[in-house]
Structure 1
Amino acid sequence: MTVLDRTGARTGAYGSVLASRIADGPGGYTGVVGDGQWAAEIRRLADLRNATVLAHNYQLPEIQDVADHVGDSLALSRIAAEAPEDTIVFCGVHFMAETAKILSPQKSVLIPDQRAGCSLADSITADELRAWKDEFPDAVVVSYVNTTAAVKALTDICCTSSNAVEVVASIPEDRTVLFCPDQFLGAHVRRVTGRQNLHIWAGECHVHAGINGDELADQARSHPDAELFVHPECGCATSALYLAGEGAVPEERVKILSTGGMLDAARETKARQVLVATEVGMLHQLRRAAPDVDFLAVNDRASCTYMKMITPAALLRCLVEGADEVHVDLETAKLAQRSVQRMIEIGQPGGGE
Structure 2
Amino acid sequence: MLDAPAPMDVLYEKVKRVIPSVEWPVFVEDIDAILELKRQRKAVILAHNYQTPEIFHCVADIVGDSLALARKAAGTEADVILLAGVHFMAETAKLLNPEKTVLIPDLEAGCSLAESVTAEDVRLLRQRFPGIPIVTYVNTSAAVKAESDICCTSGNARAVVESLGVPRVIMLPDEYLARNIAAETNVEVIAWTGHCEVHERFTADDIRELRDTHPDIIVLAHPECPPEVVTEADFSGSTAAMSDYVERQKPRHVVLMTECSMSDNVAVAHPDVEFVRPCNLCPHMKRITLANIRAALEENRHEISIDPRIARRARSAVERMLAI
- TM-score if structure 2 supplies the norm length? 0.88
**Which of 61, 69, 94 is the matching residue for 2:87?**
94
Give the C-alpha shift of residue 34 in structure 1. Answer: 4.9
**Which of 152, 169, 174 is the matching residue for 1:177?**
169
Unaligned 5+ runs, structure 1: 1-32, 245-253, 347-353
Q: 1:327 to 1:34 in 2, by over 3 A?
A: farther
Give the match for residue 16 of structure 2. Answer: none
Paired with 2:121 and 2:26, the residues of 1 have a C-alpha distance of 40
- For the 8 Å contact 2:221–2:229, the answer to whether it is kept is no
Q: Which amino acid aligns with 2:259?
A: E
- For the 8 Å contact 2:146–2:311, the answer to whether it is kept is yes
Give the C-alpha shift of residue 273 in structure 1. Answer: 0.5
SS of the aligned residue for 1:82 comes to: coil
Give the match for residue 211 of structure 2. Answer: 220
Q: Which amino acid aligns with 2:319?
A: Q
Give the match for residue 283 of structure 2. Answer: 305
Q: 1:194 to 1:218 in 2, by over 3 A?
A: farther
Q: 1:81 to 1:344 in 2, by over 3 A?
A: closer
Give the C-alpha shift of residue 240 in structure 1. Answer: 4.0
Give the C-alpha shift of residue 158 in structure 1. Answer: 0.9
Out of 215-224 and 70-79, give the one that drifted further.
70-79
What are the equivalent positions in structure 2 for 1:82-121 lying under 5 Å apart?
Answer: 82-121=75-114
RMSD of aligned Cα (Å): 1.7
Instruction: Show CA shifts across 1:101-157 (max 9, x none).
Output: 001111000000111111111111111111111101111000111111111111111
SS of the aligned residue for 2:63 comes to: strand
Q: Which amino acid aligns with 1:185?
A: L
Paired with 1:239 and 1:145, the residues of 2 have a C-alpha distance of 22
The alignment-based identity, stated in percent, is 43
Q: Which protein is bigger by CA-based radius of gyration?
A: 1
Instruction: Show CA shifts across 1:238-290 (max 9, x none).
Output: 2342x47xxxxxxxxx1101001011111111420111100011112211232
Tell me if 1:75 matches 2:65: no
Give the match for residue 168 of structure 1. Answer: 161
**Which of 305, 325, 328 is the matching residue for 2:303?**
325
Paired with 1:180 and 1:49, the residues of 2 have a C-alpha distance of 37
SS of the aligned residue for 2:298 comes to: helix
Q: 1:64 to 1:193 in 2, by over 3 A?
A: same
**Structure 1: 4+ residue segments shifted above 6 A:** none
Paired with 1:127 and 1:274, the residues of 2 have a C-alpha distance of 42
Q: How many residues align?
A: 300
SS of the aligned residue for 1:90 comes to: strand
Paired with 1:88 and 1:345, the residues of 2 have a C-alpha distance of 22
**Which of 238, 245, 248 is the matching residue for 1:268?**
248
Paired with 2:75 and 2:160, the residues of 1 have a C-alpha distance of 24
Instruction: Show CA shifts across 1:44-64 (max 9, x none).
Output: 112111111111111122111
What are the equivalent positions in structure 2 for 1:181-330 lying under 5 Å apart?
Answer: 181-196=173-188, 198-235=189-226, 237-241=227-231, 243=232, 254-297=234-277, 299-300=278-279, 302-330=280-308
Q: Which amino acid aligns with 1:216?
A: I
Q: Which amino acid aligns with 2:220?
A: F
Give the match for residue 118 of structure 2. Answer: 125
- TM-score if structure 1 supplies the norm length? 0.81
